[in-house]
Amino acid sequence: MMKIGITCYPTVGGSGVIATELGMLLSEQGNEIHFITSSLPFRLNQVNPSIFYHEVELNHYPVFQYPPFDLAMANKMADVIDREKLDILHVHYAMPHAICAILARDIAKHDVKIVTTLHGTDITVLGIDQSFKKMIIHGIKQSDAVTAVSHSLVNQTNDMLGIERDIDVVYNFVNEKEYHKKDLISIKMEYGIAEHEKVLIHVSNFRKVKRIEDVIQTFQKVKEKVDAKLLLVGDGPEYSNANQLVDSLDLGDDVLFLGKQKNISDLLSISDLKLLMSEKESFGLVLLEAMACEVPCIGTNAGGIPEVIEHNETGYIVDVGDTNRAAEYAVKLLQNEKLLKQFSKNAYQRARGCFHSELIVNQYTDIYRRVLAEK
Ligand code: GMT
């Protein structure tokens, strides 16, 4: 049994989902889990006597121009390390969580090992603000182990930071109890989608990197050959641009903006194809969620996406921006029931085989044991 602290961004997002699901699965294995976050992680939905939640509180002192959130986080971590005698503190993102963890380790009396998981956002931060480079390098170098969610992210991290350190690749996973195909044909009718119509789906936080316009343009081309509807799930900065594009292409009746949704697996269960046309994506957890629900995917050759989609087996890979090719592949698949069935089966098997939660959680526990064995 290990005592494990976990810090992540608790709001909606792949890294928060992974961190929370990991904590819940680790607790099922008999470990004691301590979430140290600014608010209750949104997926933490079970009552469990071996899961604890420590909220980082921030007082607003009139003397400070900016509230010192990262210091409050480090202080809370140090408190929890000492009080709960944590063996491991597993933080998601070097910036700022690994930095907070290192400071907490310096402050705490109890010996703790720090494991940092990179999700790609540190590299995004660096792309915007190079002044954080030394800080991110420090966070990565001082961690006892570092993991990344794809080989692509390892290479990108080493290239951009100019460091060579061992980074373990631990892929993302999904909770199979939640992500599986359900018999929900009635939902299709409730959304006004005819039984014969194919359903394409895109799920994201509508940031610019997700290139929603390419998803819509691909759909427009598919629509010329196949009766279909597009579900756009999520919300974010590009929402109104996407709305305008749909209107200007006269696709208003065929594109359904569903906003943020909780039961993604229900929507995936009525979907035939997932589109992820991002220009940056360290993994693409939404692809794995789709595959687990037997939905093949078309994605770009950006970042870790080709490590998730097996081209011509579980879906197709296209160049960033190549909506013609994406539409060709989509039509090929959607017009051939036999091929579509085969791809769905392949997608499910790949999700179960290469990214099974048990496999991935064991990879993390092996890393915890390895760092605990080091002096
Ligand atoms: O994609 C986002 O904007 C959210 C971000 C996050 O922090 O959750 O996603 C990153 O981490 C996910 C979990 O590992 C990955 O599946 C996403 O690919 C990655 N996003 C990017 O690299 C843009």
The answer to whether 360 and 172 have CB atoms below 8 angstroms apart is: yes
Q: Which atom of ligand 1 is nearest to the CA of 172?
A: 14
The answer to whether 235 and 257 have CB atoms below 8 angstroms apart is: no
- Among 231, 175, 207, smallest CA distance to 356 is for 175
Cα angle value 346/351/356 (rounded, 5°) = 145
What DSSP string describes 87-107?
A: SEEEEE-IIIIIHHHHHHHHH
- Position 121, amino acid: T
Q: Is the CB of 283 under 6 A from ligand 1?
A: yes
How many Å apart are CA 230 and CA 116, to the nearest integer?
37
How many Å apart are CA 343 and CA 291, to the nearest integer?
10
The pLDDT value given to residue 200: 98
Q: Which atom of ligand 1 is nearest to the CA of 280?
A: 23
Q: What residue's CA is closest to ligand 1, atom 3? A: 205
| Fold match, 3-173+356-373 / 185-354 | yes
Q: Is the CB of 284 under 6 A from ligand 1?
A: yes
Q: Is the CB of 18 under 6 A from ligand 1?
A: yes
Q: Is the CB of 281 under 6 A from ligand 1?
A: yes
Domain boundaries, the chain: 3-173+356-373, 185-354
DSSP designation for 253: T
The answer to whether 122 and 149 have CB atoms below 8 angstroms apart is: no
The pLDDT value given to residue 48: 87
The residues that bridge with 3 in the sheet, in sequence order, are: 32
For the four alpha carbons of 121, 119, 287 and 159, in that order, the dihedral sign comes to positive
40-49, 114-123, 177-186, 302-311: range with lowest mean pLDDT? 40-49
Q: Is the CB of 299 under 6 A from ligand 1?
A: no
- 3-173+356-373 has which fold? Rossmann fold (3.40.50)
Q: Is the CB of 31 under 6 A from ligand 1?
A: no
Residues 330-357, mean pLDDT to the nearest whole number: 98
The pLDDT value given to residue 89: 98
Strand ranges in 160-235 using DSSP code E only, listed in sequence order: 168-169, 198-203, 228-233
64-68, 150-154, 362-366: range with lowest mean pLDDT? 64-68
For ligand 1, the distance from its centroid to the CA atom of residue 204, given in whole angstroms, is 10
Q: Which atom of ligand 1 is nearest to the CA of 120?
A: 22
Interface pTM, i.e. ipTM = 0.97
The answer to whether 195 and 301 have CB atoms below 8 angstroms apart is: no
Q: What residue's CA is closest to ligand 1, atom 4? A: 13
Q: Is the CB of 13 under 6 A from ligand 1?
A: yes
| Residue 125: band (very low, low, confident or very high) from pLDDT cuts 50, 70, 90 | confident
Q: Is the CB of 120 under 6 A from ligand 1?
A: yes
The pLDDT value given to residue 12: 65
Please write the tens of the pLDDT for every residue from 48-98.
899 999 999 887 778 888 888 999 999 999 999 999 999 999 999 999 999
How many Å apart are CA 329 and CA 323, to the nearest integer?
10
Strands of the sheet containing 255-259, edge to edge, are 255-259, 228-233, 198-203, 273-276, 297-300, 315-318
Q: Is the CB of 121 under 6 A from ligand 1?
A: yes
For ligand 1, the distance from its centroid to the CA atom of residue 80, given in whole angstroms, is 27
Bridge pairing between strands 51-55 and 297-300: unpaired
Average pLDDT across the chain, whole number: 95
The answer to whether 46 and 69 have CB atoms below 8 angstroms apart is: no
- Among 51, 55, 44, 41, smallest CA distance to 11 is for 41
For ligand 1, the distance from its centroid to the CA atom of residue 311, given in whole angstroms, is 21
**Was domain 185-354 assigned CATH 3.40.50.2000?**
yes
The pLDDT value given to residue 375: 73
Q: Which atom of ligand 1 is nearest to the CA of 304?
A: 18
| Residue 276: band (very low, low, confident or very high) from pLDDT cuts 50, 70, 90 | very high
71-75, 182-186, 216-220, 221-225: range with lowest mean pLDDT? 182-186
The answer to whether 286 and 276 have CB atoms below 8 angstroms apart is: yes
Q: Which one has a higher pLDDT value, 335 or 128?
A: 335
The pLDDT value given to residue 62: 80
Q: What residue's CA is closest to ligand 1, atom 10? A: 119
| Residue 153: band (very low, low, confident or very high) from pLDDT cuts 50, 70, 90 | very high
**Ramachandran category for residue 120: left, alpha or beta (phi over 0 → left; psi -120 to 50 → alpha):** left
Share of the chain above pLDDT 70, in %: 100
For the question of whether the overall pTM of this predicted structure is more than 0.90, the answer is: yes
